[in-house]
């Protein structure tokens, strides 16, 4: 059509519309660009976040048998799955940060996990068990570095009423609060089983990071220590 | 004669009573076809029954003491969810030497650090690994059956 008008023939109604579309006034052009841009932006941004949230569900996590048959079955026996109050924390609640920047960074990291999934690095229970201490240590290290950020989404010292806790727990939490301790210092193996050699690995990790563990700090001495509930963990 | 009639009557009565007591095959089958009764009671497997009453954990601050010299000490705290399996033993996180001092926890007896042939080991013997086979927590509840239990010292004898 365009070539037809260039040949000198008067353009028809369709041709005029086409020309108006091809060379619109500046205001119309920038307006259209803006509207389409905003629409695409909203759709793109929303779509991106929607897709990212899809990968942030328990169903997505256990769609890989490595997760479903190892860590998920263990988690199902723990208080984070079933408890007195009926509040449940699923995989992403503990393993994916809530705020956007850290979440996207974690998602980028997760591409490494995809790589190892296709490589079959932990494709059998035996392989998983052999690698378990290393994987768990990674999580402990991350938790220590971020002051147990994902735990704190629900378990925040600021909203914790120590006076309603059992004597032993109250005492130890008080000490942790005063000395800047964090959840993972004691609460390990609470949603998944601990691998062989876990205690020694933790001691080594904390030494490398330059921290002391609760019992090394003397938390359990004096009135905090008699009888009570196990201490390290649960 | 009269005695003999009575005897026959008694025998006939016993026979009838016996028949009434012994269920026929058909009756037995009918009974077995009813709902399965187990520790769950009459609740079918696909139904949810009422929650059973929970019992708290007895936590005497000074421990339970022992009823006789060789008694494995009882556990005066909760152990629910403690992982004790082939790979890991949560109890030992606090109770094994040397960290038991830092945790202010009673030390696992040295008798537990030897193989069954008496060879000393640096780790709790696998024969002693599963703590709750001998050491158990106690429910904070009245005895199910009234009893007059006395410990070895109270009854005297070899332990006095």
pLDDT tens for each residue of A114-163? 999 999 999 999 999 999 999 999 999 999 999 999 999 999 999 999 99
For residue A168 the two structure tokens come to 């032993």
Burial (Cβ within 10 Å: 0-12, 13-18, ≥19) of residue A75: buried
Q: From residue B79, give the alpha-carbon distance in Å to each of B61, B127, B139.
A: 16, 20, 12
pLDDT tens, B66-75? 999 899 999 9
Residue B102: closest CA among A171, A216, A181, A179: A216
Task: Report the chain A residue with the minimal C-alpha distance to residue B100.
Answer: A215
d(CA A187, CA A193): 12
Long-range contacts of A140-147 (CB under 8 A, 24+ apart): A140/A184, A140/A188, A140/A202, A140/A205, A141/A205, A141/A209, A143/A182, A143/A183, A143/A184, A144/A182, A144/A184, A144/A185, A144/A205, A144/A206, A144/A209, A144/A211, A145/A209, A146/A97, A147/A182
d(CA A146, CA A99): 13
Would you say residue A227 has pLDDT above 60? no
Would you say residue A21 has pLDDT above 50? yes
Residue in A79, A225, A229 closest to B104 by CB = A225
- Chain A residues inside the 8 Å CB shell of B102: 215-216, 218, 220-221
Per-residue model confidence (pLDDT) at position B16: 62
How confident is residue B33, by pLDDT bands cut at 50, 70 and 90?
low
How confident is residue A231, by pLDDT bands cut at 50, 70 and 90?
very low
How confident is residue A228, by pLDDT bands cut at 50, 70 and 90?
very low
pLDDT tens, A47-73? 999 999 999 999 999 999 999 999 999
Which residues, at least 6 apart from A77, have a Cβ–Cβ distance to it below 8 Å?
B81
d(CA A38, CA A30): 12
d(CA A94, CA A143): 10
Beta-carbon count within 10 A of A31 CB: 12
pLDDT tens, B45-92? 888 888 877 888 888 888 898 999 899 999 999 898 899 999 999 999
Would you say residue A1 has pLDDT above 50? no
CB contact under 8 A, B103 and A194: no
Which residues, at least 6 apart from B97, have a Cβ–Cβ distance to it below 8 Å?
B107, B108
Residue whose token pair is 């059956």: B145
pTM of the model: 0.76
Per-residue model confidence (pLDDT) at position B17: 61
Per-residue model confidence (pLDDT) at position A226: 43
Contact B40, B49 (CB under 8 A): yes
Beta-carbon count within 10 A of B76 CB: 20
Q: Enumerate residues 87 to 146 of chain B having a beta carbon within 8 A of any beta carbon in chain A.
A: 87-88, 90, 93-94, 99, 102-105
Mean pLDDT of the residues in chain A: 88
CB contact under 8 A, A193 and B81: no
Per-residue model confidence (pLDDT) at position B18: 59
């Amino acid at each position: 059509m365009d070539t037809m008008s260039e040949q000198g023939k008067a353009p028809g109604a369709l041709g005029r519309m086409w020309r108006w579309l091809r060379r619109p006034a500046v205001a119309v052009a920038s307006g259209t660009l803006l509207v389409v841009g905003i629409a695409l932006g909203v759709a793109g941004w929303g779509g991106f976040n929607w897709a990212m949230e899809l990968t942030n569900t328990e169903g997505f996590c256990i769609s890989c048998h490595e997760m479903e048959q190892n860590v998920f079955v263990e988690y199902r026996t723990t208080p984070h799955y079933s408890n007195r109050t009926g509040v449940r924390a699923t995989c992403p609640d503990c393993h994916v940060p809530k705020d956007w920047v850290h979440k996207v960074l974690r998602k980028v990291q997760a591409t490494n996990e995809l790589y190892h999934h296709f490589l079959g690095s932990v494709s059998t229970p035996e392989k998983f068990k052999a690698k378990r201490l290393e994987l768990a240590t990674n999580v402990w290290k991350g938790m220590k570095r971020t002051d147990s950020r994902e735990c704190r989404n629900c378990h925040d010292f600021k909203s914790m009423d120590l006076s309603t806790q059992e004597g032993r727990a109250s005492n130890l939490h008080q000490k942790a609060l005063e000395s800047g301790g964090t959840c993972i210092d004691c609460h390990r193996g609470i949603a998944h089983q601990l691998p062989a050699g876990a205690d020694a690995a933790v001691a080594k990790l904390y030494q490398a990071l330059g921290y002391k563990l609760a019992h090394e700090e003397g938390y359990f001495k004096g009135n905090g220590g008699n009888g009570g509930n196990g201490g390290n963990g649960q | 004669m009269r005695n003999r009639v009575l005897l026959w009557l008694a025998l006939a009565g016993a026979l009838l009573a016996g028949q009434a007591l012994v269920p026929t095959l058909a009756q037995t089958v009918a009974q077995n076809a009813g709902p399965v009764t187990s520790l769950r009671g009459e609740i079918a497997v696909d139904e949810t029954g009422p929650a059973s009453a929970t019992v708290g954990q007895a936590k005497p601050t000074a421990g339970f003491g022992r009823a006789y010299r060789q008694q494995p000490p009882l556990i005066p705290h909760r152990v629910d969810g403690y992982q004790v399996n082939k790979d890991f033993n949560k109890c030992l996180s606090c109770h094994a030497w040397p960290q038991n001092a830092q945790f202010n926890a009673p030390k696992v007896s040295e008798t537990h650090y030897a193989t069954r042939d008496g060879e000393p080991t640096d780790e709790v013997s696998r024969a002693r690994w599963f703590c709750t086979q001998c050491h158990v927590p106690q429910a904070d509840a009245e005895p199910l059956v009234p009893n007059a239990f006395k410990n070895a010292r109270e009854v005297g004898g070899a332990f006095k």
